[in-house]
Structure 1
Amino acid sequence: MKLNMMLAIGIGAAMSCAGVQADESKPRVAALFTQTVTQGAWDTAGYAAFKSMAAQDGFAPSYLEHTSYESAPSVLRQLASGGVKLIIAHSSGYSAAIKEVAPLYPATQFVLYSYENATANLPNYSAWSVDWDEYGFVLGALAAAASKNGHIAVIGGEPIPSAERTVQFIKKGAAYVNPHVQVDSAYVGSFTDVARAKEIATGAIARGADFVIPSADTADAGIQQAADEEGALTLGSYTDQSKTFPDAVMTSTVMNFDKSYADIGKHFVEGQLGNRIITENLATNGWTLATPFAHVGKEVQDKVFSIIADLKAGKIKIED
């Protein structure tokens, strides 16, 4: 039988936990999310992939929403000490907490999905790390290719590692297409403040940016709304969002969460987790772009996918 319950963890924050199985013969797995799993794209799609993985592999799943990076060590300790065998953290901001807690619970496997560059040689820590360098490079290239003004903007949520890398390589990708492009960048300071994100995006558009790249999760809606109202172009993030703002969304990045989480479950069952980083990129089918592009000529889509082909073939080097 499945139960819904609330857990008070760490500093007393209430976090949702769902889908706990009474059958103790099934391995217990848990996932941590920074926001709710019913809004936005990043956590919603990640949660769906987590549920699918648990069902496919016969795990007993639970999940926790609104898990702050500060409370994460306490949350991880409680889960591991309570017998959870696999804990997946759905944000690069949980990296420090995992590295702090994992050595204390060798019987639990910890996995981070998003971005990681080192596992500290921990035998029970693995990461499915999106190549945010490549991701950012492609976003910058497509924005610059579509921009008529030669002026684009990128707006992130918080300056966590994956976000910082993405912004850095958006600038590189834009310059690859147009060496004279102007790239504005800013952070909302939150992944949920839609009003603030809209305000920042509106300001960027007023200063001349005609393509705004959202990278702020739930707050992306504010950025996309500003583009829609001010006549600029924008992107859908992580899932196809073309129907949400059809007059402004040119294309969407589509993360293959199902593939990544299925791989995590498979490696756990086969005992292959620990001290490893799996890179998810275009070549591994870790993500793609929705087609056809809207609001631009076919030459823009052709140019972007030519760049993608060159990236896959190793013809473009984007390293620092």
Structure 2
Amino acid sequence: MSLLKSLLAGGATPALTVALAVAATATGALAEPALIFDLGGKFDKSFNEAAFAGAQRWVEETGGTYKELEMQSEAQREQALRRLAETGANPIVTTGFAFADVLNQVAPDYPDTRFVIIDTVVEQPNVQSVVYSEPEGSYLAGILAGMSSKSGTAGFIGGMDIPLIHKFQCGYAQGFMAARPDGKIVTNFTGTTPAAWNDPVKGAELARAQISQGADVIYAAAGGTGIGVLQAAADANVLSVGVDSNQNHLHPGKVLTSVLKRVDNSVYEAFKAGTAVEPGVKVMDLKSDGVGLAMDDNNKPLITPEMMAAVEDATAKIVAGETKVHDYMTDNACPAG
């Protein structure tokens, strides 16, 4: 267990935790990597948990140790980055676009430290920015949703109403409409603040509202909020689609698939590279196995050979450049509604 983790477990306040970590590790190893989880918690069964899985894979393979910190508030971001840099942690991996502004301020002050930010771009000479082709993975889920839906109506529930989450929605809508041209997408977002990532009660309420409108396959791209969406869908005997991590096991036979965003691979690769992490933008897409769908025994009964063939065909065409999945963030618009 890392020092930061043990101090958090011991009940120290966020500010004191980081300060104590600096003092206690000042004479220790100076090249331990570090991972800062975003709001919503390490075990959100989604985005943060995928990052944790990548770090754990690195530990299992190398026997190494790393520092980790779970965010408790927005105000902690800058302090956490600076204190970890002062301990000699290198590289420092941050999960989530919300770190962008503070990383732009902090990175220049620690030119010998490598930083990795997941989900957005920060243009600094010592920062690697990892972005994903979420529309591609979501498009494949949309195809499955279109082929599975009996009502012709699919739902999408996003977390925070921001362009990044519109990328998921737009890719899903394009895939759904490709498989079901006469279909309809119902869309809701949980909120406009970071609290939107951790409100499963609101997620369940939105899911029930969409079900009342006829949605029988609902995709949740909402972090911890999505747990409520998947639960409400299972309770109503309709299908759901998970996100980021493989969530098929949460409701076997009820989760159609999960759109994998291989945050685990990104964290693992950053830790493995260590101080040799290359700055610049790294794009994770279908071709690089950065996104994809989760297929396992939990959803196997839901996937027909025809559905699998359709996904494989779409994957091949996207990778080959024959099918272009529109990225919402290129023009803040979606051609599929």
Deviates more, 1:200-209 or 1:22-31: 22-31
8 Å CA contact 2:30–2:88 kept in 1: the answer is: no
1:217 is matched with: 223
Query: TM-score when scaled to structure 2?
Result: 0.82
1:45 is matched with: 50
- Evaluate the alpha carbon distance shift between residue 172 and residue 67 of structure 1 in structure 2; reply closer, same or farther with a 3 A threshold: farther
Distance 1:156 1:38 in 2: 19
CA distances 1:81-111 after superposition (whole Å, capped 9, x unpaired) = 3432221111122222212221222122110
Give the gaps of 5 or more residues in structure 2.
Answer: 328-337
What is the Cα-based RMSD across aligned positions, in Å? 2.9
Distance 1:99 1:177 in 2: 42
Which residue among 4, 11, 29 is the counterpart of 1:25? 29
Percent identity, aligned pairs only? 24
8 Å CA contact 1:239–1:255 kept in 2: the answer is: yes
CA distances 1:277-297 after superposition (whole Å, capped 9, x unpaired) = 111122112233233643353
Distance 1:26 1:220 in 2: 38
- Evaluate the alpha carbon distance shift between residue 247 and residue 2 of structure 1 in structure 2; reply closer, same or farther with a 3 A threshold: closer
Please give the residue correspondences for 1:258-297 in structure 2 after superposition, counting only pairs within 5 Å: 258-269=264-275, 271-274=276-279, 276-291=280-295, 293-297=300-304
- Evaluate the alpha carbon distance shift between residue 164 and residue 77 of structure 1 in structure 2; reply closer, same or farther with a 3 A threshold: farther
1:302 is matched with: 309
Q: Following TM superposition, where does structure 1 have runs of at least 4 consecutive aligned residues deviating by more than 6 angstroms?
A: 12-17, 20-23
1:119 is matched with: 122
Which residue among 49, 72, 90 is the counterpart of 2:77? 72
Q: Which has the higher contact order (CA 8 A, sep 6+)?
A: 2
Please give the residue correspondences for 1:1-320 in structure 2 after superposition, counting only pairs within 5 Å: 3=3, 4-6=6-8, 8-9=13-14, 24-34=28-38, 35-54=40-59, 56=61, 60-113=65-118, 115-116=119-120, 118-120=121-123, 122-189=124-191, 190-269=196-275, 271-274=276-279, 276-291=280-295, 293-319=300-326
Q: Which has the higher strand share?
A: 1
Tell me by how many angstroms 1:160 deviates. Answer: 4.2
Tell me by how many angstroms 1:124 deviates. Answer: 0.8
Tell me by how many angstroms 1:196 deviates. Answer: 0.9
Distance 1:257 1:104 in 2: 27
2:320 is matched by which residue type in structure 1? A
Partner SS state of residue 167, structure 2: helix
8 Å CA contact 1:250–1:294 kept in 2: the answer is: no
Deviates more, 1:260-269 or 1:190-199: 260-269
Deviates more, 1:203-212 or 1:276-285: 276-285
8 Å CA contact 2:47–2:244 kept in 1: the answer is: yes
Partner SS state of residue 172, structure 2: helix
Q: Which has the higher helix share?
A: 2
Give the gaps of 5 or more residues in structure 1.
Answer: none
Query: TM-score when scaled to structure 1?
Result: 0.85
